[in-house]
A and B are shown apart, each in its own frame.
Chain A
């Protein structure tokens, strides 16, 4: 596996197309757009994969307030009960990760946090405010505190990259076009897409769309940033690069980041706090170091990627 990754990332495929623009070469550094920054090398990725990833968790100080709280949340779609009494708390100012097997209700959590879905029972609190009980006007106002990176970037197909990133600024601020251009170009450079603003979303690769979505989510400098499976559909190298980017932007801007994933390596790389979901409930939650050391049968099986344990194909 490690050798395979090394080989793949060490010799990027030749040729044009949107993917080519994303290759991690010295010519087009995709991480930050700053050429002096060291790239994440293939060897580092291979090493991380072989070692199961190195933990990068930061300490969560005791008494840190909760940015987001789920209190006994139930949600069903028809006869499919997705959330079954979910209780979780995510700390303010840290990168939290909600991990769990596919189809266990992780993405549904994000939609509850931003008020796109309402719980059948229970409550969702964001910075102490109950989201389901907010009237429409206040909900729209509250959403300004959020930035969301959807699975495929969710860029508006009819707008180019620049206009996509400028959209929230034009929608919510009175800034002039010069100021908007300065912010948009800075954010695009930050995610390694400087100079690509004229491209339409369908001209971009999956990884580029995600990074553009990240830039759009950042422009209003939100207090809470939500990532819906940022690693889905992209290769391990680009996943690593995206994780680095998330970590770097968080260390520069601060705020509460919530990342939904089922990729354990990503969890090891950037999570300070982990919530493990299964069957619509929390199996275990806590600081990342403690969860990775957990002896809970499901936690240890899932975090080790072990086929033997309570989680089966059924």
Chain B
């Protein structure tokens, strides 16, 4: 042990075929990185679900605090956005077209499709991603940069169980609840547009309730809960893998929002198509 041992200092050895390798790396590097990241996100999803189910459950306090945090941040932007968007886009514009064909009473029925099936979940997902997802990525990214996450692991604390799981569960719960909230304010937006076009309230509600099915409601809530899960996993992943100082945290937040919106759009399409295919009665216009 006490003897001095020396090693060889070697120059950076030239690598055979380095030029060709560099070209391949440049061409397929981004693709490989994207595939690796997809794989890592899927692994994190699996670990989060297993970790959430397997005892112990030390994350109760963090879950409640995250739930209240998102609730506090998102209630007002979500209310304003859903009301304004539903009043403006499907409300006034659909009423305009329906007036041409003398069918403004159909506005209620149209709002099942517009607000409950599409705009409610999508706006909820977008607002939660923008308001809470960015906060999660920035928070975890800063902790990663300050080596707090490494310190946690060294102190025997599993960051997946203690940080990712509570955010995953609270975001699923809060987005599902916020979906109902968004649908309520969305429908009121439509109702206001209807009043503006002289639609009697009775006709609006009549076509609304004739077309709405329980499947619409649970489908909407389930879809939004899935959006919540996507936001939590992607934003936690981006935060926990941030690197490169403060600039890296900014980059991670940007990437988290872009990835979340892309995935939300893709899942929305697949989910709605599967729901309609498995429940063809939803396609029938009634009343």
Contacts and interface: CB of A to CB of B under 8 A. Distances in A.
A281 B2 contact: no
A287 B12 contact: no
A77 B71 CA distance: 40
A1 to B, nearest CB: 29
Interface of A: 60-64, 66, 79, 84, 87, 89, 91, 111, 114, 116, 140-141, 143-144, 146, 148, 150-152, 154-157, 167-168, 171-172, 278-279, 281-287, 290-291, 294, 296, 298, 310
Interface centre among A79, A172, A298, by most chain B C-beta atoms within 10 angstroms, is A79
Contacts of A146: 154
B44 to A, nearest CB: 15
Nearest to A311: B9
Given A64-B1, A154-B148, A87 B7 contact: yes
B1 A63 contact: yes
Interface of B: 1-10, 12, 25, 142-143, 146-148, 150-158
A143 B7 contact: no
Given A116-B150, A282-B7, A171 B1 contact: no
Contacts of B148: 154-157
A165 to B, nearest CB: 11
Contacts of A284: 4-7
B139 to A, nearest CB: 9
B60 to A, nearest CB: 16
A180 B119 CA distance: 53
5 contacts: A151-B147, A167-B155, A168-B156, A171-B156, A286-B4
A283 B150 contact: no
Contacts of A60: 1-2
Given A60-B2, A287-B2, A279 B9 contact: yes
B48 to A, nearest CB: 15
B1 A157 contact: no
A171 B151 CA distance: 13
B214 to A, nearest CB: 43
Nearest to A86: B7
A291 B4 contact: yes
Given A116-B154, A281-B9, 15 more contacts: A62-B2, A64-B1, A84-B10, A87-B7, A89-B1, A143-B153, A143-B155, A148-B150, A148-B154, A156-B148, A157-B143, A168-B155, A171-B155, A172-B156, A279-B10
